[in-house]
Amino acid sequence: MRLAGIEPTTPWFVAKYSIQLSYSRNRHNYAMEEKNYITPPGHERIKAELLKLLNVDRPEIVQVVHWAASNGDRSENGDYIYGKKRLREIDRRIRFLNKRLEFAVVVDNLARKNGDGDADQVFFGATVTYSPLEGSEAGKETVITIVGVDEVDLEKNHVSWVSPIAKALIKAKLGDSVVIQTPTGPCEIEILAVQYL
């Protein structure tokens, strides 16, 4: 391959394109290419948000920006400046959601919901009831649901599958005791119930 009369083996060509290649590799976000495990309701929620941004929010802002631009001086036009800023935010969110959906792996526990297979073992999507075996919290039941990174909601007790509590619980069975790390030190908990809702 020749580029404007420059041989691909010349030091200039090799240096320039190897630097560009390493730069593009360093800028590449490999974390986004990891599998994004998600429950079916979480997948639907992300798709609905993406469609709302594409079909409702973005066209509204484009209209506002178009109207504001037609008013003349854009440098002191608040509607235009705010509209352009909001448009960039929407476009950024659309790109993020597209990437999350591109690498999404929808985990449906239909067999476990129907009682087939290992419904008493904790996997992604499980709702787990547990209680500490020792300390001041002993006997107090806590219910959590293990969900995807994009579905975390602490008010509903939805925790990520990569959280320490979920990592400790995954693959444990009903009645098992596992040790989790807490800010006050290790704590042994017992699994009281496993459900797939």
149 vs 10, more confident = 149
Q: How confident is the model at residue 129 (pLDDT cuts 50, 70, 90)?
A: very high
- Give domain limits for the chain: 34-106, 110-195
The CATH class, in words, for 110-195 is alpha beta
Range 34-106 has CATH code 1.10.287.180: yes
Q: What are phi and psi of 70, to 5 degrees?
A: -75, -10
pLDDT for 144 equals 93
Among 29-43, 94-108, 115-129, name the one with the lowest average pLDDT: 29-43
Q: How confident is the model at residue 26 (pLDDT cuts 50, 70, 90)?
A: very low
